Structure 1
Amino acid sequence: MPKKRAAPGGAQRPRSRELAAQATRENLLRAAIKVFARNGFAGGRIEQISKAARSYDRMIYYYFGSKEGLFIAVIEEIYRRFNEAESELALDLDAPTDSLVAIVRFIWSYYNRHPEFITLLNSENLHRGKHISKSRRPGEYSSPALSLLERVLHSGARQGVFRSELRARDVYLLIASLGYFYLSNRHTLSTFLGENLEAPEALEHWERFVIDSVLRVVAAGPPLPPLASSTRSHNRSGD
C-alpha cells in the first residue's frame, strides 16, 4: 500500500511556530522595557505592557510566569544589550591611551543613547537589587569592558604611561559613575545649577571632562602615599 505523502511544508510548521513564539516573547519584552522604564516596577502594569505589545495578559504569564519574572527578564535583557555592544569594541592594546579614551566614550555614549538603561537600573536599585539577585544567569552580567580595561591598563603600565598599581574595577567604577550620575540626575542638576545639562554643548563638555579626569587619574607619576584609614584618622583627631 503506498505511503501517504507529507503535506507540503509540514516539516516547517514546528519551526514557524517556534519563530512566532520567539517573536511574541521579544515583542512583550520590548514593550515591558518601555513601560517599566517609564513607570518603574511598581507602576508598570501587566495590562499596560500587553496593550503596548498588542498582545494579551495571559501571554505574559505564559512566557514569564509573573510580573516579577517579566521584570527580571527586562533587567537581564538590558544587561545583555549593553554587554553585546561592549563586546564589539575593537581596541589597539599597543595604543593604551587611545584605547582608554575609546572605552570612556563608549560607556558615556551608551548611557546617553539608552536612557532606559539608567532608569531601569535606578528602579532596580530602589528595590535593593532583589529582582536581579533572583536571575538564573547572574554570571553573564560581568562587563566585557572590565576585562578589556584591565588589558589596556596593563599595556599602559608596561609602556610606562599608566600607573602600575591601578585596579581595573576602580577605573571602571570611576568612568561609569561620572557618566551615570550626570545623566541620572540631569533634570534636578539642571535646576540646581541653573543650566541645561542636556544641551549638546553641555554633553560634549562633560564627555571631555570625564576623559581628562580619567587620563589624569591613570597617568604615570610618582607613587601616591597610602591613605590613612578613617579609624586612624578619627583617633588622631581625637588625641
Structure 2
Amino acid sequence: MLYYYFQSKGGLYVAVLETMYAEFARHEVSLDLAGLQPAAAIRTLAFIWDYFRANPRWLNLINNGNLHEGRYLKRSPKLTEAISPVIDLVRATLARGAAIGDFRADVDALDFHVTLAAMGYYPVSNRFTLKAFVGRDYSEPSVIEAETELQVKRC
C-alpha cells in the first residue's frame, strides 16, 4: 500500500513533511497577533519554542531533511505554500512595529522568522550534546524559563 499511495519511501517522507509543516503553519497563523501590540505579538509568536520542546521528533525530521540536503523538501510545492502565510503575518507585525518606532523598518520578515525559530530550535535539537559538552540540561524547566527570559524579555 505504501507504493500505491506514495510511490516510494521518499514519497511517504515528503507527505509526512508536508503534513508536519502545514500543521505547524496553521498553528502559527491561528495566533491573533493583529490585536496585540507589535512587541507582544512577536513574543506570542515565540510560542514556536514551546512547540519545538513539545515535539522533539518534529525536529528529528527537520534534521533528517538537512542530512539529505533538502532534496525531499524540494519535491513539494506545498511546503512553500505553508510558510508564505506565516511570513506575511510576521511582515505585517514588523511593519506595525516599525510604524510606531518599536522595530527597525529594514528587518526582513523571512530572516527574522528564521532567526526566531533558530533561537528555540538549537537548544532543543542539541539538548543531548549541550548537556554532555557544557553540563547544562536545556530540557529542565528552570533552564527553559531562564533561556526564555533572556531571549524574550532582556533583549
Name the TM-score, length of structure 2 as normaliser.
0.91
Residue 76 (structure 2) pairs with residue 135 (structure 1): yes
Q: Paired residue for 1:223?
A: none
Corresponding residue to 1:178 among 115, 119, 123 = 119
Corresponding residue to 2:66 among 125, 143, 157 = 125
Displacement of 1:137 in angstroms is: 2.9
CA offset digits 1:43-89 (Å, max 9, x no partner): xxxxxxxxxxxxxxxx2122111111111111111111111111211
Identity %: 35
Q: Structure 1 pair 77/94, CA: closer, same or farther in 2 (3 Å)?
A: closer
Any conservation in 2 of the 1:64–1:70 contact (CA below 8 Å)?
yes
Name the SS for the 1:162 alignment partner.
coil
167-176 or 183-192: bigger deviation: 167-176
Q: Paired residue for 2:103?
A: 162
Q: Distance in 2 between matches of 1:185 and 1:125?
A: 14
Displacement of 1:143 in angstroms is: 4.6
Q: Distance in 2 between matches of 1:143 and 1:96?
A: 19
Higher RCO structure (Cα 8 Å, ≥6 apart): 2
Residue 54 (structure 2) pairs with residue 113 (structure 1): yes
Corresponding residue to 2:17 among 75, 88, 92 = 75
Q: Distance in 2 between matches of 1:196 and 1:94?
A: 33
Aligned positions of 1:20-99 closer than 5 A: 59-93=1-35, 95-99=37-41
> In angstroms, what is the RMSD of aligned CA positions?
1.7
Count of residues paired in the alignment: 155
Q: Distance in 1 between matches of 2:101 and 2:55?
A: 36
Displacement of 1:138 in angstroms is: 4.2
Q: Distance in 1 between matches of 2:36 and 2:64?
A: 40
Any conservation in 2 of the 1:96–1:153 contact (CA below 8 Å)?
yes
Name the TM-score, length of structure 1 as normaliser.
0.61
Q: Paired residue for 1:199?
A: 140
| Stretches of 4+ aligned residues off by more than 6 angstroms | none
